[in-house]
Amino acid sequence: MPEVNYPDKERILIGTSSCLMGEEVRFDKSHKHHSYTTKTLGQFFTFRPFCPEMAIGLGTPRETLRLVEQDGDIHCVGNKTEGHDVTIALKDIANEQSSWHEELCGYILKKGSPSCGMERVKVYSAETRMPLYSDSGIYAAQLMKNFPLMPIEEEGRLGDPILRENFIQRVFAYRHWRDIESEGLSMRVLTEFHSAYKYVLLSHDQDRTRALGHRLAHASKEPIEEVAEWYLNEWMGILKLRATRKNHVNVLQHLQGFLKNDLDKEDKAELTETISQYRQGILPLIVPITLLRHHFRRHPKPFTSRSKYLESHPAELMLLNTI
């Protein structure tokens, strides 16, 4: 990715597991530096690293931990010393960080950790020591319970182009929500916000997006705080779903329709062919999006300058080049 001069005031505050930043905080005093996070995302985000195991005083080097099921509950205990139970300490330390957690617009966690893992952390039987199922690490589970709407992802899943784009789109969108919220919400602001995200939402789930738009359009008599609460819940729930190629094609064709009186025969045929090649997986999403941006620049429509669909995150991140 080319070097980017992203303005400091635009940088988004993101929490991370300290070891992903290259800090030597793991049990063996090593780190798990994740260069995509620090080098690529680091050009747009400001990171707040935190190691829950160090924060509860375990130090380095230390005994490794694991999750075990005991009496129907999941506990985080020493791998060799099962009496060394740090479950409560990890939950408490997550709760104690709430004042800065609530400032964040996202969190990148270390996969597989009994403290930081977002999902698929093995839970063992206390009796047989065999794996039973998987769950979240203790700190991560408490963080997600306290902030269910915050975009949270693991560094391992950021290697998947669709999950990566989804997470980063949600981070930028959540930051936008926080900005309008801090400036003061009203029905007019919410309606404009929904209109800006309508096509983004449609690419994730068409039925839920239409239902959300319908509900918002009939909410003018409800208190704005209540509307904002259910709107944010559903808006983030839709964004969390994976966008599909089929839904993107529908949105692209819909946007193409706005240009039907502006393009000549050749331009129309080229746009139709580009969308068709995206549908077949021959071209990545960035190609029809770039072509649409080009046409809307030449034939501006009031809604396209406000719509987030054609640019929901910085182009330099090249997130649409691989999906």
Which among 167, 177, 174 is positioned nearest to 228, based on CA atoms?
Answer: 177
- Interatomic CA distance for residues 14 and 49, integer angstroms: 8
Question: Between residues 55 and 292, which has the closer beta carbon with respect to ligand SF4?
Answer: 55
In the DSSP assignment, the letter for residue 60 is S
Q: Is 224 helix (H, G, I), strand (E, B) or coil?
A: helix
For residue 90, the minimal CB distance to ligand SF4 (Å) is: 9
Return all residues near 276 (Cβ < 8 A) that are at least 6 apart.
Answer: none
Question: Between residues 115 and 203, which has the closer beta carbon with respect to ligand SF4?
Answer: 115
Question: Between residues 113 and 274, which has the closer beta carbon with respect to ligand SF4?
Answer: 113
Question: Between residues 20 and 202, which has the closer beta carbon with respect to ligand SF4?
Answer: 20
For residue 103, the minimal CB distance to ligand SF4 (Å) is: 19
For residue 240, the minimal CB distance to ligand SF4 (Å) is: 23
Question: Between residues 67 and 291, which has the closer beta carbon with respect to ligand SF4?
Answer: 67
For residue 124, the minimal CB distance to ligand SF4 (Å) is: 18
DSSP-assigned states of every residue in 155-178: TGGGGSHHHHHHHHHHHHHHHHHH
- Interatomic CA distance for residues 286 and 91, integer angstroms: 42
- Interatomic CA distance for residues 202 and 64, integer angstroms: 45
For residue 11, the minimal CB distance to ligand SF4 (Å) is: 22
* Interaction site with ligand SF4 (CB under 6 A): 17-19, 25-26, 51-53, 110, 113, 115-116
